[in-house]
Amino acid sequence: MNKKILHILLLCLISWGSLAAKEPVEIQIQDTKGSPIVHGIVKLDNGKILAVDSRGQVEIDLAAYGASVELEVYAIGFEKQKMTVGELMSNPRIILRESLGELDEYVLSATRTDRSVEDLPMPVTVLTEEKICETGAFRLSDVLAEQTGLQLVADHGTGLQMQGLDSEYILILLDGEPLIGRTAGTFDLDRISVSNIDRIEILRGPSSAIYGSEAMAGVINIITKVQTDGVSANLIAQYGSFNSFDLGAEVGLNTKGWNIYGYYDHYSTDGYDLNTESLGNTKAPHEAETAQVKLGKAIGDKWKVKINGRFYQDEYKDVVGVSSGEETLAADMAGDSRDININPSISFKPNTDWTFTLRNMTTLYDTHSSTVFTETGEVVDEEDFSQRYHRTEVQTDYRLDKEQLLTVGVGHQLETVEATRYDENNKFNSGYLYLQHQWTPSEKWNVVTGARGDLHSEYGGRISPKISAMHKFSDRFSWQGSIGAGFKSPDFRQLLLNFNNAVVGYYVYGSMLVEEGVRQLEAQGQLQQLLMDTSTFGNLDPENSWAVNTGFRWKATDDLLLSTNFFRNQISNLIETAAVARLTNGRNVYSYINLNEVITQGAEVEVNYRLGQHWRFSLGYVNLDSRDEEVIEGIERGEYFKRDSQNRTRRVERSDYGGLFNRSRHSGNVKVNYWERHTGVNVALRGIYRGKYGFGDINGNQILDDPSEYAEGIMQVHLTLNKQFDNGVMLETGVRNIADAINEYDSTNPGRTFFVRANVSLDQLFGN
């Protein structure tokens, strides 16, 4: 009897063990600090991909695989890792190390298909949510200001430079779709909040072969969060200097093929004033609201439908001084803007080789501003601006074989602008076709070729080709290079603008209207001096460019990475602002002309070093040479003059010429990250340097050639402390510009500022 009971118990144990072995195993993915890594990816050997949940966990049926089968684990910001099934069965915990640089991260903007940075033959930087967080930024401009090769510029809002080219040559994407609403070519980066950004992709070099004319310098793709698993809810609050307050909330749901994400943010600030001797603030007090909804639905294994919607609006008020006769009177200035984006898309993947994607984008951007005298209520100036942008595009991806992927896209764009300063409703439309071939002929070579053809309603057809290649000399050392062409058509303001800034007292005319505008000013007695022959103005030619980028990535050790990029941009018919005449009030009349040939060239270097689990160091440096070849030829012909220290007139020498205005020859950054093990506090110390640059033409000869025309270089140091708690609460505090370094010519720098921030994951806080 006892033997029968023993046999039954033994049989039960064997059966239970057999059943247990077939049950899925819960794998925990963590970083070296012991914190769970959320939203990672586990790739099985059959190509199936499993998503890690918000607790850093994923269930895998390990019993279905042999012990020697390898699985790959990925997570943005971390080095990928391969594990065998046997290793996971003995220890179901995976520890990922932070990535050194961005080699292990995937980007979409470079080729419009997911590609690892390690396999891209072009310079790309990826900023993860963690890197964005450590900047302590309220708005996007604060994040980008700390990146190698990017410079903030104050030009009709907070703009950007890349490789010495201005904002109008840098395409800003939100979830892969272009953002509109530029003032004088500048997209104001302060319109974008950062608390719902998942990552930012920075692609340097011409990308006109895929994205069109606004991508001559590069692309910045802002990718917002999506819900990847279950239910989540977060609250984000940040407070800082100048009574700046940012409050955001996000919720997400992923179930039964549905992916739903919602976000709301309210931001307000009292602004700041860098010049207390005059009325008005450098940055006016304002409030801004952002709301976003992202819906996605998987229909079976082949269809995916998405729709993204975003709403943004802001309002500002200020008091400014307005010239009235020989006195300056106070005036109330107020304005608002609104930005609405709707982006539906549908993709169909009938098999592993074909993918079809239909995208649509509709954007409405409106602004209103008014200025009235405070005492009398008399209107000084009032302006309305309305821009509409529609785009429809079909993209087809076809995998020719294991080594080749062909992408074909065709689309149509329609843009209309209606404004107080334009005489009529202006309309441009264009069609385009782009082709791209990605080819990996061997383990060492990777080649991407492409071309885009644009047919513009005003400027006819243009073709923008590009070829990029990468060669891996070893697993640690690779070279990449690219050469591409681009073009950019004149926009509405450059051709047809008729603008009088009553607050400052200057005029801007489009090239088609400047001759008549100057004639009217002369008849009114407002003209003091004619600086250029207005009869030479007229229709503008489109800009054409060629650019070369080449460099290497060298992972000298597991903890040391060196990246370089050498670039040269050559632009013909660059559209430049020119002073046409001087008014009796001392201000100028401006318009736009084509410059024959402009060159920007230089080198970008980045070094990343990891010391154990606690320390990370990075160093970035950029050397930039920018010049107008036409000016150099004029100097050599003796056409430019200046006055020396004894007030004697002499010819400008080649050595006097400082290149293009508002460009620094030298810039760079140094960053130190430290994780204090006992307290779990992360420390980020960053130094950002911008060398001297030309701020304006003091001696009136239209070029940068005198020491008095330079702003001095400046170094800003930022410090951030943050701690992530196990219950889903993150606390952060810090100070930006510790030494209160100020440059009077840089209105984007308010001096020393402080901030505190809290991020609370409600589902983790109440779920524990």
Could you tell me which residues come within 8 angstroms of residue 576 by beta carbon, excluding any fewer than 6 positions away? 592, 593, 594, 595
**What one-character DSSP code corresponds to residue 425?**
-
Place of tokens 């590609």: 115
pTM: 0.82
Q: What is the pLDDT of residue 106?
A: 52
Residue among 429, 407, 405 at smallest CA distance from 416? 429
Residue 113 — φ and ψ, nearest 5°? -140, 155
Amino acid identity, position 527: L
The DSSP secondary-structure symbol of 460 reads E
Nearest alpha-carbon partner for 488 in 413, 575, 389: 575
| CB-based contact 601:568 (threshold 8 Å) | yes
Instruction: Give the Cα separation of 203 and 215 in Å (integer).
Output: 10
pLDDT at 113 (0 to 100): 61
What the block records as the tokens of 699 is 């001696």
Sign of CA dihedral 164, 167, 170, 175: positive
**pLDDT tens digits, residue range 693-707?**
988 777 778 788 888
The full set of domain ranges for the chain reads: 21-96, 106-219
| Per-residue model confidence (pLDDT) at position 16 | 39
Asked if 255 and 181 count as a contact pair (C-beta separation under 8 A), the reply is no
Q: Which two tokens stand for residue 554?
A: 């060298």
* Amino acid type, 199: R
Q: CA 732, CA 35: separation in Å to the nearest integer?
A: 17
Longest alpha-carbon distance in the chain: 122
Mean pLDDT by 10 residues, the chain (768 residues): 50 42 69 72 69 73 70 73 76 76 53 61 81 82 88 72 84 84 68 86 77 77 84 93 94 90 95 80 88 93 93 90 74 89 94 93 90 86 86 93 91 86 74 91 90 78 86 92 82 70 66 86 78 82 87 92 94 80 74 85 95 92 93 90 79 90 93 90 95 83 86 94 88 95 84 94 75
- For 106-219, which CATH superfamily applies? TonB-dependent receptor, plug domain (2.170.130.10)
Q: Which of 426, 398, 428, 396 is nearest to 410 (CA)?
A: 396
In the prediction, which pLDDT does 391 show?
92
What whole-number distance in Å separates Cα of residue 375 and Cα of residue 237?
39
Contacts (Cβ under 8 Å, ≥6 apart) of 520: none
Q: How far apart are CA 250 and CA 762, in angstroms?
A: 10
Question: What DSSP string describes 110-142?
Answer: TTSS-EEGGG-SS-EEEEEHHHHHTTT-SBHHH
CA angle at residue 162 from 109 to 218, to 5 degrees?
A: 25
Residues with Cβ within 8 Å of 60's Cβ and at least 6 positions away in sequence, in order, are 24, 25, 27, 42, 44, 50, 71, 88
Q: Which residues make Cβ contacts (< 8 Å) with residue 359, sequence separation at least 6?
A: 177, 343, 344, 345, 391, 392, 393, 394, 395
CATH number of the 21-96 domain: 2.60.40
Output the pLDDT for position 156. 56
Both tokens of 380, joined, read 């000084």
Fold match flag (21-96 vs 106-219): no
Which residues lie across from 471 on neighbouring strands? Answer: 445, 479
What are the Cα distances from residue 124, in Å, to 73, 218, 313? 22, 10, 31
Q: Give which of 99, 112, 89, 145 is closest to 664, Cα–Cα.
A: 145
Write down the pLDDT at residue 14: 41
Cβ-contact 158, 191 below 8 angstroms? no
Integer Cα distance of 490 and 591 in angstroms: 13
Q: Which amino acid is at 551?
A: G
Q: Are 13 and 32 in contact (CB under 8 A)?
A: no
Structure token digits, residue 147: 């990146």
User: How far is residue 246's CA from residue 217's CA, in Å, rounded to a whole number?
Assistant: 32
Amino acid 275: pLDDT = 77
